[in-house]
Each structure stands twice: as structure tokens, then as C-alpha cells.
Amino acid sequence: MNKAKRVTITDIARLAGVSPGAVSFALNGRPGVSAQTRQRILDIAEESQWLPNSAARALVGSHAGVIGFAVNRSAGTLGAEAFFTDLIAGVQSALAGKRIAMQMVLVSSVEEEVATYRRWHSAKQVDGVIVIDPRDDDPRLPVLRDLALPAVVLGSHASPEGHPATIWLDDSQVAHSLFDYLGALGHRSIAYVAGPAEFQHTRLRTEVLAGLGERGVRGEVIATDFSPAAASTAMRRLLSRLERPTAVVFDNDVMAIAGLRVAQEMGVPVPKDLSVASFDDSVVAGLVHPSITCITRDTFGLGAEAAKFLLEQIDAPDVLADRIGAMPQLTVRESTAVPR
């Protein structure tokens, strides 16, 4: 068995004939060694394939070299939505090359999420976290503030400026761009099959839809748990009524696809008799037939920006300036049309 003993800075120090301290200076680009010695040390480190032991580094108090991502979704809905993988892929793209890893954990409640942050902080396991799905009166934000754990929140929330840093996503704008589009097409009865009511974006979207009332649009909201089954049920109920809505908007693409299927099963032609749209895009939304009109967000880019922002904040926790996320675009596809 290959023992593969790990190379430490002490080994390098011995090889270079200097003290471990000098090696540390050299490897971290700190003053305290001559250019010549520094180069010699770097060469030896390279040759002997030295890699820093992250545990030791984390212990001495600098960085853990890890950012954390706690996802509060059931395992089932996780796999269905492309949002997470896209976001993660974006985060990874920003982390590539840097010696920073991402730790991910699935939690099943906000309480558990908060506990995870506490544990991560206490165990010095992560340097910062990415937080999604802000809620009204979000219990996570004060905790992150208390722990002084660097964080980037994606979305819009009521918290005052400052920690935690936020990439603001203007959900009202987003809701407007989709609902206004449907209104402009002539739809006067729109149903919105939403996710859980406690999410901030659900509330904002609901408000925007309600706001269209002045313009003669009757809106209706059905809360679900994001599952395709719930979407099917909602759709079936909507289409069984005498007064059907002429457009149904879903919170994500999987629910929209589920809804689409129900419409087809019930013989309701889309988009002729019914328009369908989704607040979330994905590759598949553009591939099904009819393809689904969606709000297209650069989730990958968002993930990358979030990671970069987080890293900046970890480096300089005091320099805080919230950012505005890229505005999502409306992608009109085949599933929406002028109502009959």
C-alpha cells in the first residue's frame, strides 16, 4: 500500500534549509523573506506537490476555504427544479480555480436551516453562506447578523440595509412583466398557482396580480407546495369550473408542465382556449409541446455573482453595498396567446 505521506511546510522548510515560518511567509506572499529565498521555497513546494492542509489553516483562524449552501426544499421537489443545479453550477464557476469549496446541505425547515448556520459558524466550517427564498420577517437574517457570518441573500426582503448583504431581485417587476403581458394580450381572468405563501416572492407576485384588478383583471391565487401533483390538482379544479380562467401562471416550470398535461387530458387546447406561463424557465420548458412562456432568469449568472459577492464580503466584511440582480426577461413561447 502506498503510504502517500502528506507533505507539510516543515518538510519544505527542511528541504530549503529555512524555518517553517519563512516557508509560510513565502507561500502566502507575505514580506519577511528575500525574493531569492521565496522563489526557492516556491519551487520546492511545487516540486514536492505541497498543498495546504485546510484544517490547519482553518484552525489557526484564517479561512475555512468553504462556503455553505443550505437548501430548504424537500428532496423530491429539489430534483425537479433546474433552478438549484443552475445556481450551483454558477456558484461553482465562480469558485473554480480559487481554492474554495462549496458545502451543500438539505434542510427541511427554517429552524433547521438556522441551526445549520449556527453549527457551521460554531465549528468554523464555512466562511460564508448563500441564502435563498427570503420570507416575511425572515428569522434567518438576524441570526446571521448576530453570528456575523458573511452571507449573501438572493431576493427581496424587508431588512434594513447592511448585513447580510443582498442581491436584490425585483420580484414585483418580474411579476409585472408577466402579468402585464397577459393583461395586454386581453386576459381578464388569470389564475396564479403559487408556492408556499410565506415566501416573499409569492406575496409580491400575488400583490401585483391583485393590483391588476383596477384594470379589470380578475386574479386568483392557489397556494401549493411546489409539487407537480399539487399543480395538477389545482389545474384540474380550475378547468372543471364553469367560469374558467383564460390564463394560468405557475411558480415554476415543472408545475407548468404538469398543468399543461392536465389541460391536454381535459381537452382544453393550449394556447387557443387557455394560456399557460411560468415564473421559472428551464431547458425543458422550451422543449415541451407547446413550449412554455416563461420568465427567463440567468440563474447560472446569478449563482456566479452571488459567489463572487460572497467572497468579496468574506475578504472585507465591512464594505457592504447591496447589489441589484440582473433583471429577468420574459420569454414568449407557444403556450400563450390572445384569449378567445
| Contact set for its own copies, span 98-117 (CB under 8 A) | 101-106
Stretch of residues binding its own copies (CB under 8 A), selected from 49-57, 181-189, 206-214, 235-243: 49-57
| Cβ 42 to DNA shortest distance, Å | 12
Exposed, middle or buried: residue 273 (CB in 10 Å: 0-12, 13-18, 19+)?
A: middle
Residue labelled with grid coordinates 426582503: 157
DSSP tag of 189: E
Q: Which is nearer to DNA, 36 or 109 (CB)?
A: 36
Cα-based torsion angle of the residue sequence 147, 148, 152, 156 in order, rounded to the nearest 10 degrees: 80
* Residue 264 binding: pick among its own copies, DNA, none (C-beta 5-8 Å cut-off by kind): its own copies
The two beta strands, 329-331 and 293-296, are antiparallel
State the Cα–Cα distance between residues 158 and 141, nearest whole angstrom.
10
Q: Which whole-number Å values give the CA distances from 143 to 108, 110, 140, in the listed order?
A: 18, 12, 5
Cell reading at 330: 420574459
The single-letter code of the amino acid at 70 is A
Q: Which is nearer to its own copies, 85 or 296 (CB)?
A: 85
Q: Which is nearer to DNA, 26 or 231 (CB)?
A: 26
Residues that bind DNA (CB under 7 A): 6-10, 17-25, 27-28, 30, 32-34, 36-37, 50-53, 56-57, 59-62
Does position 88 interact with its own copies (CB under 8 A)? The reply is yes
| Cβ 46 to its own copies shortest distance, Å | 13
| Cβ 53 to DNA shortest distance, Å | 4
Does position 13 interact with its own copies (CB under 8 A)? The reply is no
State the Cα–Cα distance between residues 37 and 320, nearest whole angstrom.
38
Q: What is the CA radius of gyration of the chain?
A: 25
Does position 1 interact with its own copies (CB under 8 A)? The reply is yes
Question: Of residues 30, 98, 289, 323, which one binds its own copies by CB under 8 A?
Answer: 289
CB 130 within 8 A of CB 310: yes
Give me the residues that bind its own copies (CB under 8 A), please.
Answer: 1-2, 4, 6-7, 49, 51-59, 64, 66, 75-76, 78-80, 82, 84-86, 88-90, 92-93, 95-96, 101-106, 118-119, 121-125, 146-148, 228, 254, 257-258, 260-261, 264, 282-284, 287-289, 291, 299-300
